[in-house]
């Protein structure tokens, strides 16, 4: 089993307002059974930001409104859910690029929250780029086109992006190009 994670965070068209920082507002998680070659779970956690607000630019990009994230769980609670309900500390995980991993690391450090994931992480963007012999690392939507897979749902929705990334990982696994995820 593999957890595929994609996060959305508060963002602005230019610089953030004074005192605001980028914070996770949605965690998309798709569980992949690599042995069976299928996606077996799709989850979404909406997270309430503490030091920033959702800008109109962010709403346009992600579809998330301030009202929706205000009713979300705290970041600490989201991390506890990942650990308790999704075995995040035990199960290997993957993301498209390193942004998600770095954002969790930063936010856990600044909030004093325990990091929910174990050490077994795979950067699916790097694996995809190497497997397809590409010079530049494509974004997820471009990678779907290259792989001949449809974009399902809304791009920049964490739950939909995690689902699509999981599809790319399954495609790589079917080509024997997905590595065994080991400790970094």
- The predicted-structure confidence for 47-91, as pLDDT tens digits, reads as follows 999 999 999 999 999 999 999 999 999 999 999 999 999 999 999
Task: Please indicate, yes or no, if residue 183 is contained in any of the structural domains.
Answer: no
184 has a pLDDT exceeding 90: no
The H or E element spanning position 9 is strand 2-9
Residue 159, domain member (yes or no):
yes
Strand partners, 42: 30
pLDDT (0 to 100) of residue 183: 43
Which structure tokens are listed for 149?
């897979």
DSSP states along 68-103: HHHTSB-HHHHHHHHHHHH-TTTS-EEESSSHHHHH
pLDDT at 98 over 80: yes
**Residue 87: inside a domain:** yes
Asked whether residue 184 is domain-assigned, the answer is no
Residue 180 covered by a domain: no
Asked if 168 contacts 123 with a C-beta cutoff of 8 angstroms, the reply is no
Bridge partners of 26, per DSSP, are 8, 46
Q: What is the pLDDT of residue 180?
A: 79
Average pLDDT over residues 28-55: 97
Average pLDDT over residues 103-118: 96
Q: Is 164 helix (H, G, I), strand (E, B) or coil?
A: helix
When pLDDT is averaged across residues 159-175 and rounded to a whole number, the result is 97
CATH number where 51 lies: 3.30.420.10
H-run or E-run covering 165:
helix 158-174
Establish if 35 belongs to a structural domain: yes
Determine the Cα–Cα distance for residues 14 and 12; give it in Å rounded to an integer. 5
Domain holding 116, by residue range, is 2-174
Nearest to 131 by CA among 98, 182, 171: 171
What confidence tier does 155 reach under pLDDT thresholds 50, 70, 90?
A: very high
Counted domains in the chain: 1
Instruction: Give the pLDDT score at 70.
Output: 97
Is residue 16 scored above 50 in pLDDT?
Answer: yes
């Amino acid at each position: 089993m593999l957890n595929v994670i994609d996060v959305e965070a508060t963002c602005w068209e230019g610089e953030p307002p004074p005192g605001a920082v980028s914070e996770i507002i949605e965690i998309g998680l798709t569980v992949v059974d690599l042995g069976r070659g299928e996606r077996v779970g799709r989850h979404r956690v909406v997270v309430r930001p503490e030091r920033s607000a959702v800008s109109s630019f962010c709403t346009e990009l992600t579809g998330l409104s301030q009202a929706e994230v205000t009713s979300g769980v705290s970041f600490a609670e989201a991390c506890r859910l990942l650990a308790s309900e999704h075995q995040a500390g035990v199960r290997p995980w993957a993301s498209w690029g390193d942004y998600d991993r770095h954002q969790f690391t930063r936010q856990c450090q600044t909030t004093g929250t325990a990091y929910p994931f174990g050490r077994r992480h795979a950067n699916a963007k790097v694996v995809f780029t190497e497997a397809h012999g590409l010079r530049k690392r494509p974004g997820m939507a471009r990678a779907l086109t290259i792989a001949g897979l449809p974009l399902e749902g809304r791009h920049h929705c964490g739950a939909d992006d995690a689902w699509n990334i999981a599809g790319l990982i399954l495609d790589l696994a079917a080509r024997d190009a997905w590595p065994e995820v080991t400790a970094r």
